[in-house]
Amino acid sequence: MIVLASDHAGYPLKEEIKKHLTEQGVAFIDCGTDSPASVDYAAFAQKACLKITSGEAALGVLCCGTGVGISMAANKVKGIRAACCSDYFSAKYTRLHNDANVLCMGARVIGAGLACELVDVFLSTDFEGGRHQRRVDQITAIENGEILG
């Protein structure tokens, strides 16, 4: 199960991603927003990310105007590793090397076709582990207030 959310700027892109996921047979939870009326992205990022940290969803896709604001909000939720991506390589390698659990995209930055490709590669790429696990563990340590080095 994956979780989706957006603010008003990301709403049209989220709706295109929903259509794509439905066509692919991918189950999802839509945490809103449900219209282009102005809303604050932080609340929707938090709502979606809590679905991941609770175990209701494994991965998330969040959209706002640039993808940056919603990724910043998502990364404030303990246990979330959100990455704002606008290209295939970043979307693939943030899963492969960083074990990202949330993909963030900007509706004012990329179109629906590319966004759906990024969702596909993000969802189909597994974490490689190995030497990358140490680095992910360091990210978690920082999140837990530990001083590295």
Contact call for residues 122 and 82 (beta carbons, < 8 A): no
84 in active site: no
64 in active site: yes
**Cis-peptide, bond into residue 33, ω within 30° of zero:** yes
**111: its two tokens:** 């179109």
Query: What beta strand segments (E) does 85-140 contain?
Result: 102-106
Helix then strand count (H, E) for the chain reads: 6, 5
The catalytic residue among 31, 49, 64, 104 is: 64
Give φ, ψ of 26 to 5 degrees.
-90, 125
Picking from 92, 20, 38, the residue whose alpha carbon sits closest to that of residue 4 is 20
Picking from 87, 107, 86, the residue whose alpha carbon sits closest to that of residue 4 is 107
User: Could you give the residue numbers annotated as active site?
Assistant: 64, 97
